[in-house]
Protein backbone atom coordinates (compact mmCIF):
# COMPACT_ATOMS: atom_id res chain seq x y z
CA UNK A 1 0.00 0.00 0.00
CA UNK A 2 1.28 3.46 -0.82
CA UNK A 3 1.99 5.77 2.12
CA UNK A 4 -0.35 8.81 2.05
CA UNK A 5 2.66 11.13 2.00
CA UNK A 6 4.08 9.62 -1.15
CA UNK A 7 2.78 9.01 -4.62
CA UNK A 8 3.66 6.38 -7.11
CA UNK A 9 2.53 6.74 -10.70
CA UNK A 10 0.55 3.56 -11.01
CA UNK A 11 -0.68 2.33 -14.35
CA UNK A 12 -3.15 0.06 -12.58
CA UNK A 13 -5.27 2.97 -11.34
CA UNK A 14 -7.92 4.05 -13.81
CA UNK A 15 -8.35 7.76 -13.41
CA UNK A 16 -12.10 8.38 -13.59
CA UNK A 17 -11.61 12.08 -13.02
CA UNK A 18 -8.66 12.73 -15.30
CA UNK A 19 -8.72 16.09 -17.05
CA UNK A 20 -7.96 15.88 -20.75
CA UNK A 21 -7.75 19.51 -21.73
CA UNK A 22 -7.08 22.92 -20.24
CA UNK A 23 -8.73 25.36 -22.60
CA UNK A 24 -7.51 28.99 -22.96
CA UNK A 25 -10.59 31.22 -22.68
CA UNK A 26 -8.96 34.65 -22.50
CA UNK A 27 -5.66 36.30 -23.32
CA UNK A 28 -4.85 39.81 -22.02
CA UNK A 29 -1.78 42.07 -21.60
CA UNK A 30 0.42 41.42 -18.61
CA UNK A 31 0.18 44.30 -16.10
CA UNK A 32 3.90 44.36 -15.29
CA UNK A 33 5.15 43.68 -18.83
CA UNK A 34 2.56 44.94 -21.36
CA UNK A 35 4.45 43.35 -24.29
CA UNK A 36 3.78 39.97 -22.75
CA UNK A 37 0.39 38.41 -22.07
CA UNK A 38 -1.41 36.41 -19.41
CA UNK A 39 -3.98 33.72 -19.96
CA UNK A 40 -7.14 32.60 -18.25
CA UNK A 41 -7.88 28.96 -18.89
CA UNK A 42 -10.55 26.51 -17.79
CA UNK A 43 -10.81 22.82 -17.07
CA UNK A 44 -14.14 21.04 -17.36
CA UNK A 45 -14.50 20.09 -13.71
CA UNK A 46 -14.31 21.72 -10.28
CA UNK A 47 -10.92 21.49 -8.60
CA UNK A 48 -11.67 22.20 -4.95
CA UNK A 49 -10.47 18.78 -3.74
CA UNK A 50 -7.25 19.13 -5.76
CA UNK A 51 -6.16 22.44 -4.22
CA UNK A 52 -5.14 21.20 -0.72
CA UNK A 53 -3.22 18.31 -2.31
CA UNK A 54 -1.27 20.69 -4.56
CA UNK A 55 -0.68 22.97 -1.56
CA UNK A 56 0.95 20.08 0.30
CA UNK A 57 2.98 19.07 -2.75
CA UNK A 58 4.31 22.50 -3.82
CA UNK A 59 6.58 24.03 -1.15
CA UNK A 60 6.20 27.63 -2.35
CA UNK A 61 2.41 27.63 -2.79
CA UNK A 62 -0.16 29.72 -0.94
CA UNK A 63 -3.62 28.30 -0.33
CA UNK A 64 -6.85 29.96 0.77
CA UNK A 65 -9.64 27.51 1.51
CA UNK A 66 -12.05 30.44 2.08
CA UNK A 67 -11.40 31.87 -1.39
CA UNK A 68 -10.92 28.51 -3.06
CA UNK A 69 -7.59 29.52 -4.52
CA UNK A 70 -4.00 28.36 -4.75
CA UNK A 71 -1.10 30.39 -6.11
CA UNK A 72 2.48 29.39 -6.81
CA UNK A 73 5.43 29.94 -9.11
CA UNK A 74 5.94 27.33 -11.80
CA UNK A 75 8.90 27.59 -14.15
CA UNK A 76 9.16 31.29 -13.29
CA UNK A 77 5.47 31.96 -14.07
CA UNK A 78 2.86 33.01 -11.52
CA UNK A 79 -0.02 30.55 -11.54
CA UNK A 80 -3.42 30.76 -9.82
CA UNK A 81 -5.74 27.75 -9.69
CA UNK A 82 -9.32 28.17 -8.47
CA UNK A 83 -11.84 25.71 -7.11
CA UNK A 84 -14.27 26.37 -10.00
CA UNK A 85 -11.71 25.08 -12.53
CA UNK A 86 -10.27 28.43 -13.61
CA UNK A 87 -6.51 28.80 -14.07
CA UNK A 88 -4.63 32.10 -14.45
CA UNK A 89 -1.02 32.18 -15.60
CA UNK A 90 1.40 34.95 -16.55
CA UNK A 91 3.48 36.27 -18.32
CA UNK A 92 4.20 34.76 -21.74
CA UNK A 93 5.92 35.91 -24.91
CA UNK A 94 4.16 33.51 -27.24
CA UNK A 95 1.35 30.99 -27.40
CA UNK A 96 3.66 27.96 -27.33
CA UNK A 97 5.07 29.00 -23.92
CA UNK A 98 1.54 29.26 -22.52
CA UNK A 99 0.54 25.89 -23.98
CA UNK A 100 3.65 24.20 -22.57
CA UNK A 101 2.92 25.52 -19.08
CA UNK A 102 -0.75 24.46 -19.27
CA UNK A 103 0.30 20.99 -20.40
CA UNK A 104 2.62 20.77 -17.39
CA UNK A 105 -0.22 21.93 -15.10
CA UNK A 106 -2.56 19.32 -16.60
CA UNK A 107 -0.04 16.60 -15.75
CA UNK A 108 0.34 17.96 -12.21
CA UNK A 109 -3.42 18.27 -11.62
CA UNK A 110 -3.98 14.73 -12.91
CA UNK A 111 -1.41 13.44 -10.43
CA UNK A 112 -3.26 15.28 -7.66
CA UNK A 113 -6.58 13.78 -8.85
CA UNK A 114 -5.02 10.33 -8.81
CA UNK A 115 -3.70 10.97 -5.30
CA UNK A 116 -7.23 12.01 -4.24
CA UNK A 117 -8.76 8.86 -5.67
CA UNK A 118 -6.23 6.73 -3.84
CA UNK A 119 -6.05 8.52 -0.48
CA UNK A 120 -8.99 10.94 -0.27
CA UNK A 121 -8.73 14.36 1.36
CA UNK A 122 -5.44 15.20 3.09
CA UNK A 123 -5.70 15.15 6.89
CA UNK A 124 -6.11 18.30 8.93
CA UNK A 125 -2.89 17.34 10.69
CA UNK A 126 -0.91 17.56 7.43
CA UNK A 127 -2.49 20.90 6.55
CA UNK A 128 -1.67 22.30 9.99
CA UNK A 129 1.93 21.15 9.67
CA UNK A 130 2.22 22.85 6.27
CA UNK A 131 0.54 26.04 7.61
CA UNK A 132 3.31 26.30 10.21
CA UNK A 133 6.00 26.69 7.55
CA UNK A 134 7.79 30.05 7.82
CA UNK A 135 11.42 31.16 7.34
CA UNK A 136 11.89 31.13 11.12
CA UNK A 137 10.45 27.62 11.52
CA UNK A 138 12.72 26.36 8.73
CA UNK A 139 15.74 28.19 10.18
CA UNK A 140 15.22 26.48 13.57
CA UNK A 141 15.86 23.11 11.89
CA UNK A 142 18.83 24.14 9.71
CA UNK A 143 22.37 23.59 11.09
CA UNK A 144 22.67 27.36 11.89
CA UNK A 145 26.43 27.35 11.23
CA UNK A 146 26.14 30.11 8.58
CA UNK A 147 28.99 28.32 6.79
CA UNK A 148 28.03 29.71 3.37
CA UNK A 149 28.60 26.39 1.58
CA UNK A 150 25.16 26.72 -0.03
CA UNK A 151 26.23 30.04 -1.59
CA UNK A 152 23.95 32.09 0.68
CA UNK A 153 25.10 34.54 3.31
CA UNK A 154 23.75 32.35 6.06
CA UNK A 155 21.14 29.81 7.10
CA UNK A 156 18.28 32.32 7.41
CA UNK A 157 18.76 33.51 3.81
CA UNK A 158 18.76 29.87 2.75
CA UNK A 159 15.55 29.29 4.75
CA UNK A 160 13.83 32.13 2.89
CA UNK A 161 14.84 30.62 -0.46
CA UNK A 162 13.72 27.14 0.58
CA UNK A 163 10.32 28.62 1.28
CA UNK A 164 10.04 30.46 -2.03
CA UNK A 165 11.06 27.31 -3.87
CA UNK A 166 14.26 28.69 -5.41
CA UNK A 167 16.53 26.37 -3.37
CA UNK A 168 16.17 22.78 -2.20
CA UNK A 169 17.35 21.01 0.94
CA UNK A 170 19.88 19.03 -1.14
CA UNK A 171 21.79 22.29 -1.66
CA UNK A 172 22.81 22.52 2.00
CA UNK A 173 25.80 20.14 2.31
CA UNK A 174 25.87 20.54 6.07
CA UNK A 175 22.39 19.15 6.72
CA UNK A 176 23.29 15.99 4.78
CA UNK A 177 25.53 14.97 7.69
CA UNK A 178 24.19 12.08 9.82
CA UNK A 179 23.94 14.23 12.95
CA UNK A 180 21.25 16.37 11.25
CA UNK A 181 19.22 13.46 9.86
CA UNK A 182 16.21 14.12 12.13
CA UNK A 183 16.09 17.81 11.15
CA UNK A 184 16.49 16.91 7.47
CA UNK A 185 13.58 14.47 7.66
CA UNK A 186 11.41 16.97 9.53
CA UNK A 187 12.12 19.80 7.07
CA UNK A 188 11.55 17.59 4.06
CA UNK A 189 8.18 16.45 5.43
CA UNK A 190 7.11 19.92 6.55
CA UNK A 191 7.99 21.59 3.23
CA UNK A 192 6.43 18.89 1.09
CA UNK A 193 4.12 16.53 3.02
CA UNK A 194 2.87 15.04 -0.27
CA UNK A 195 5.23 14.13 -3.09
CA UNK A 196 3.56 14.03 -6.50
CA UNK A 197 6.65 14.34 -8.69
Applying CB under 6 A, which part among 8-16, 76-84, 115-123, 168-176 lies near ligand SF4? 168-176
| Residue 139 is a binding residue for ligand SF4 (CB under 6 A) | no
| Residue 181 is a binding residue for ligand SF4 (CB under 6 A) | no
Q: Which of 17, 32, 148, 164 binds ligand SF4 (CB under 6 A)?
A: 148
| Residue 120 is a binding residue for ligand SF4 (CB under 6 A) | no
Rounded Cα distance, 84 and 176, in Å: 42
Applying CB under 6 A, which part among 57-65, 96-104, 128-136, 153-161 lies near ligand SF4? 153-161
Applying CB under 6 A, which part among 54-62, 76-84, 105-113, 140-148 lies near ligand SF4? 140-148
If the CB atoms of residues 24 and 160 are measured against ligand SF4, the closer one turns out to be: 160
If the CB atoms of residues 2 and 145 are measured against ligand SF4, the closer one turns out to be: 145
What are the CA-CA distances from residue 146 to residues 106, 143, 152 (Å)?
40, 8, 8
Q: How far is the CB of 35 from ligand SF4 (least distance, A)?
A: 38
| Residue 142 is a binding residue for ligand SF4 (CB under 6 A) | yes
Rounded Cα distance, 99 and 109, in Å: 15
Amino acid sequence: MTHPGTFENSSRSKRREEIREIRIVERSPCLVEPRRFKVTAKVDKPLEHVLPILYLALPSSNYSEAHGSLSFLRNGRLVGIFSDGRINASCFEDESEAKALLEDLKRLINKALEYYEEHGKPSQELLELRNKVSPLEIYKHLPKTNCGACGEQGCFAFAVKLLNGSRTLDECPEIQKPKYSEDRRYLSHMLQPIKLE
